[in-house]
Amino acid sequence: MLEPWRTGKVIRIEDITPITKRFWIAVDDLERFDFKPGQFVTLDLPIDEKRNKRWRSYSIASWPDGTNVIELVIVLLEGGRGTHYLFNEVSEGSELTLRGPQGVFTLPESLEKDMFLICTGTGIAPFRSMVNYIHQHNVPHRDIHLIFGCRRTMDCLYGVEMKALEKELEGFSYIPTFSREHDNPADIRKGYVHAVYEEIVTKNQLAPASFYLCGWKDMIDQAKEKILSFGYDKHDIHLELYG
């Protein structure tokens, strides 16, 4: 059963990169906005006469904390009517029509296998929610590898936060990799996400694992093909497609 449409108020906006913003939205008619880490909300934006052409869905980047406030992280898309509206017409105090939570891209009941959380760009949003939830609630787990790909270090979303969490959450590793970084700091990894998880899987001798993929179609298609080629089953792969 779908949740009803509700009104949310934007209470804070923060620039995180030149083309990425964080939006904090309070749903005033609820005391608390309950959701499962990994779920998304759909916004109904006034950008078209037809309702289904106005809808844009975004994963919730925050984790359930007992409040009625959620955070979205959104990148400005070239020619994207929805993101251009959000970036140019929405400010603190603006109201947005939203529905949610929705989606089944969520944590399993028991984290009995190693987890690979593989993402690009704002695809990190559901994984930020998941790993913080695991940490806050002391959820028993095996090794968790968050592999995040973007172009340059300046595009690295939540990098400082994830590095700090790496020190606090046992078994959690955060591995950003940059495909177009021209500088050459010794402590960063260059390239694409695929080489990273292949290296870990090979080192671990194909240990039982679950793979969660979130990002653009090309990345997900290539990751699915590679993971299956390792010998894993299609049921080991869970995905959330952007775009």
The average pLDDT across 86-112 equals 95
Whether 181 shows a pLDDT value over 70: the answer reads no
How many CB atoms within 10 Å of residue 41? Answer: 25
At 108, which amino acid appears? P
* Total residues found in the chain within this entry: 243
Please report, rounded to a whole number, the percentage of residues in the chain having pLDDT higher than 70. Answer: 93
Residue 112 tokens read as 């009995």
Please report, rounded to a whole number, the percentage of residues in the chain having pLDDT higher than 90. Answer: 79
Name the fold adopted by 6-102: Elongation Factor Tu (Ef-tu); domain 3 (2.40.30)
**Which CATH number does 114-242 carry?**
3.40.50.80
How many CB atoms within 10 Å of residue 199? Answer: 11
Whether 42 shows a pLDDT value over 80: the answer reads yes
Q: How far is residue 197's CA from residue 228's CA, in Å, rounded to a whole number?
A: 13
What's the pLDDT at 62? 98
Whether 45 shows a pLDDT value over 80: the answer reads yes
At 143, which amino acid appears? D
What are the residue ranges of CATH 2.40.30.10 in the chain? 6-102
Query: Model pTM?
Result: 0.94
Q: Give tens-digit pLDDT for 183-241.
A: 655 566 777 789 889 999 999 888 999 999 999 899 999 999 999 999 999 999 999 87
Residue 49 tokens read as 């006469």
What are the residue ranges of CATH 3.40.50.80 in the chain? 114-242
What's the pLDDT at 156? 80
Residue whose C-alpha is closest to residue 158's, from 186, 137, 180, 131: 131
